[in-house]
Structure 1
Amino acid sequence: MDVIIITGGSKGIGKAIAKKYVNKNYKVYSLARSTSDLKKVTQITVDLSNLNDTEACFKNLLEKIKKQIITSITLINNAGRLGKISTIENLTSNDITNTIQLNIATPIILTSLFIKSTQSITCKKQVINISSGAATKPYEGWSVYCTSKAAIDMLTKTVASEQKLIKNGVKCIALYPGVVDTNMQSQIRETSESDFKNLQRFINLKENKELYTTEFVADTIYKIDTENRLENGAIFDIRNA
């Protein structure tokens, strides 16, 4: 059994990835606050910003999965939030904390639990982190989001470095999906230019039909994964695929 566990698998990119893998006969589990209309995906409702609930839920899921005969298992850290778009002095402590919690604290904790729980399993094991070009390019108004994605990239590199030294270790890679037509893009376009100086660029991308579809992103990620294109620790922009 080939297993995919994806966070935020009920909407946007996450839903498209879940649909792609389940259609390729993977056993797919989605951890998200909401559910989708994907019938073959096992959807587990959990608030990923609640650490106690998330940890208990994830541990329970991994224990159930380990009782099966597994040929591969992958954790896709996809869930994330942009947070309030504005310069840093206009952000509340709650909004900052919520963004950091979901975008980086939760992936770190899930990655830790995943590696520990699968140590005794001998098969293809990997963590795929959905990062962003915002990890390397500062956008005024996205200070917390950019920071969290830069942290995801460093998490990827560090975990990969640790796991290279371990027999039957876990492969860890990060992917930049490009600018994708999701609810996050709708949020960006509804922002005032005083809060986000790059607003017009994103409006133009939508009007010129230059946004990637979630299906394209899912297809590309599946291809990169199943063809084993990337080495452990790689951080890759799918626009270069």
Structure 2
Amino acid sequence: MNVLIITGGSNGIGKAIAEKYTLEKHTVFSISRSKTTNVSYQQITADLSNTSEAVNTIKTVFSELDLNAISSITLLNNAGSLGEVNTVGNLDFEKIQQTIQLNTITPLVLSNEFIKLTKELHCKKQIINISSGAATSPYSGWSIYCTSKAALDMTTRVIAIEQNEVDNDVKCVAIYPGVVDTNMQAAIRKTSEKEFKNVQHFKELKENNELYSPEFVATKVYQIDIQNQLENGDIVDIRTV
């Protein structure tokens, strides 16, 4: 049995990835604040911005698994938020906290639990973090998002270094999906130029049909995974692999 546990699998990239892995005969568990319809993978509703709820939910997933039957198991940290788009000095402090919680703290917490819960499993074990080019490219108005994704990349690197030092390790990698036609992109295009001076560029990407589809990204992520293209700690843009 090949298992995928994915956060934010109810829409966008997450839904497309969950559907792709299900199609490829994986047992898929989606953890998200909402459910979607007409899918065959298992959906668990949870507020991932609540640390205790996130931890309890992944423990519940493991309690439902026959660990002796697992050939591979993956935690895919996909859930995230753009957060408030505005310059520093004009942000709501609670929105800063909420976005950092979801984009950075929750993946770290879930990765911590995943490594604990798989310690005795001798099979392919991995964590895939969906990050962003914004982790390395600063955008005016995106301080929260850029910061949270940069932190996620560092989390990836640190976990990889730690796991390289132990037997029966967990691989940890991060993938930049490129600019994808999702609800997040729609929200970006609605921001004002005062709040986000690069907004016109993203509008033009949509107008020129230069956005990736979630399905394209899902296929690329699956290929990278199954073909074992990445080493522990790698952080890659799907446009380069």
Give the TM-score taking structure 1 as reference length: 0.98
Q: Which residue of 2 aligns with 1:121?
A: 121
Map 1:4-15 → 2, pairs under 5 A: 4-15=4-15
Q: Is 2:102 the counterpart of 1:102?
A: yes
- Conserved 8 A contact 1:33-1:45: yes
Q: Which residue of 2 aligns with 1:171?
A: 171
- Aligned partners of 2:71, 2:122: CA distance in 1, in Å? 8
Q: Which residue of 1 aligns with 2:240?
A: 240
- Aligned partners of 1:68, 1:215: CA distance in 2, in Å? 32
- Aligned partners of 1:38, 1:4: CA distance in 2, in Å? 19
Give the match's secondary structure for 1:126.
Answer: strand
Map 1:61-210 → 2, pairs under 5 A: 61-210=61-210
- Aligned partners of 1:214, 1:30: CA distance in 2, in Å? 16
Instruction: Label 1:99 to 1:16 Cα distance change in 2 as closer, same or farther (>3 A).
Output: same
Give the match's secondary structure for 1:9.
Answer: coil
Deviation at residue 37 of structure 1 after TM alignment: 2.0
Give the match's secondary structure for 2:64.
Answer: helix
Q: Which residue of 1 aligns with 2:220?
A: 220
Deviation at residue 68 of structure 1 after TM alignment: 4.9
Q: Percent identity?
A: 56
- Aligned partners of 2:66, 2:121: CA distance in 1, in Å? 8
Give unmatched runs, 5+ long, in structure 2: none
Letter in 1 for 2:180: V
- Conserved 8 A contact 1:46-1:54: yes
- Conserved 8 A contact 2:84-2:144: no
Letter in 1 for 2:114: F
- Aligned partners of 2:92, 2:66: CA distance in 1, in Å? 41
- Aligned partners of 2:107, 2:59: CA distance in 1, in Å? 14
Give the match's secondary structure for 2:211.
Answer: coil
Give the match's secondary structure for 1:47.
Answer: coil
Instruction: Label 1:209 to 1:145 Cα distance change in 2 as closer, same or farther (>3 A).
Output: same
- Aligned partners of 2:6, 2:55: CA distance in 1, in Å? 14
Instruction: Label 1:167 to 1:48 Cα distance change in 2 as closer, same or farther (>3 A).
Output: same
- Conserved 8 A contact 1:86-1:195: yes
* Deviates further, 61-70 or 135-144: 61-70
- Aligned partners of 2:137, 2:38: CA distance in 1, in Å? 35
- Aligned partners of 1:123, 1:38: CA distance in 2, in Å? 31
- Conserved 8 A contact 1:174-1:235: yes
Deviation at residue 38 of structure 1 after TM alignment: 4.2
Letter in 2 for 1:85: V
Give the match's secondary structure for 1:89.
Answer: coil
- Conserved 8 A contact 1:133-1:178: yes
Deviation at residue 150 of structure 1 after TM alignment: 0.3
- Conserved 8 A contact 2:72-2:125: yes
- Conserved 8 A contact 2:8-2:30: yes
Deviation at residue 51 of structure 1 after TM alignment: 1.1
- Conserved 8 A contact 1:19-1:38: no
Give the TM-score taking structure 2 as reference length: 0.98
Give unmatched runs, 5+ long, in structure 1: none
- Aligned partners of 2:110, 2:159: CA distance in 1, in Å? 12
Letter in 1 for 2:59: K
